[in-house]
Amino acid sequence: MSESKSSETMNAYMIIACKMHDREAFINGYGKAVPLLVEKYGGKYLVVAPGAVSLEGTLKGYSSVAISRWPSKQVALDFWYSEEYLEVKKLRENLADVEVLLVEAPEIL
């Protein structure tokens, strides 16, 4: 049996579910700007896709999903609270409802 990683060496995964109100404006503004920052801060997108189906819970209509992998929880938090991201985040105001989770776990892909 392999030894489990300590949380200091675990990856972090940011899971985002999105209900877009204006898909075109969202993609052409926020959707073009944020991947550059994710990469700059050491994140990597694993999934970016529309068409998710809610099978249970309260996320009905949240059909766009993004999952990114980060070297650590702290790196993901540094990105999330950076001045650069806070500026880019303004590009999605009133264009979408977003739910975001951050979880540490061993590498999954």
Residue 3 counted as domain residue: no
> At 100, is the secondary structure helix, strand, or coil?
strand
Residue 80 counted as domain residue: yes
Residue 53 counted as domain residue: yes
Contact (CB, 8 A) for 79 and 58: no
Q: Supply the pTM of this predicted model.
A: 0.87
Q: How confident is the model at residue 4 (pLDDT cuts 50, 70, 90)?
A: very low
Q: How confident is the model at residue 52 (pLDDT cuts 50, 70, 90)?
A: very high
Residue 87 counted as domain residue: yes
Q: Which of 17, 1, 13 is nearest to 66 (CA)?
A: 17
Q: How confident is the model at residue 108 (pLDDT cuts 50, 70, 90)?
A: low
Cα(63)–Cα(59) distance, rounded to whole angstroms?
8
For residue 55, the domain's CATH number is 3.30.70.100
Into how many domains does the chain fold? Answer: 1
List the beta bridge partners of residue 103. Answer: 13
User: Containing domain of residue 94, as a range?
Assistant: 11-105
The token pair that represents 103 in the structure block: 């979880």
For the chain, the first-to-last Cα distance in angstroms comes to: 20
